[in-house]
Structure 1
């Protein structure tokens, strides 16, 4: 099974796009509006977490995960470490869920290769027209709880990431 994810935020909203592709080429596309305190990195992680939850509900044991967020992919591969408490908490949740898979691979791709989920996240924020009736996707809303005291006050302004 293949999972593509993308998260983004603007001043008004945060959103996530999730695209699951079965070996038979059948797909599930999900656009999620994230409500609550959310940095761009958290939106990326929320997209990954939602994708994980969907895969686990489907009974998937092996997955390839593609994302254009270097931070998320490299943290999941234990190549990067962040000092942001929000990113650390999100990474901890994602690693815990990832342990439920028998085999999982994380692959960084360029934004140009992640167009489907980017479009889904734009749909979730209403920045893009809803696709035609021939384009099936699920539109959801998720309310986010603050992950730390800093998260309650607003986005962290920490950009330092360390390669391990």
Structure 2
């Protein structure tokens, strides 16, 4: 499975490409209809792909992404430093238990072109070619409460 997230002025989207051992392909586009960061789009792509794999009853999966940050975090080589990224990592941990074998590998962007093209179709809300599954996501997969401001805004008293 190859995954990628895209963020541009038109919006955010993800692309997921499954390639079976026989070379058969399944292509998915996810349109993110909420404000997302680039890392959030990458995580949404990975989670979406893992969920699809579970519904297809795939038990062994190699997942390839070109975001070094995401791959390092899900492989536990780097810590998730922001609360939202930690919530995404936790969601990945829950999905990992559905597989007998699951590996995450970083690939150069040039080796991830197909899922990159799919993610851009999602982010630009472009017409998707026949044979590609499309889904819109209205809100993030994970919920994180907004952090309170570090200092309350003080309003001077008048009088």
2:23 to 17, 22, 25: 25
Give the corresponding residue for 1:65: 63
Task: Give the drift of 1:65.
Answer: 0.6
| Structure 1: unaligned runs, 5 residues or longer | 152-164
Q: Which of 1 and 2 has greater Rg?
A: 2
Gaps of 5+ in 2: 148-159
Distance 1:27 1:76 in 2: 25
Between the two proteins, the alignment pairs up a number of residues equal to 147
Q: Which is further off, 99-108 or 142-151?
A: 142-151
How far did 1:84 drift?
1.0
TM-score (norm 1): 0.82
RMSD (CA atoms): 2.0
Aligned to 1:74: 72
Q: Cα distance 1:103–1:129, how it changes in 2: closer, same or farther (>3 A)?
A: same
> 2:146 & 2:12 partners in 1: Cα distance?
18
SS of residue paired to 1:55: helix
Runs of 4+ in 1 over 4 A off after TM superposition: 127-131
Local SS of the residue matching 1:17: strand
Secondary structure (helix, strand or coil) at the match of 2:46 reads helix
Structure 1 residues 7-16 or 17-26, which shifts more? 7-16
2:95 matched to 1:100? no
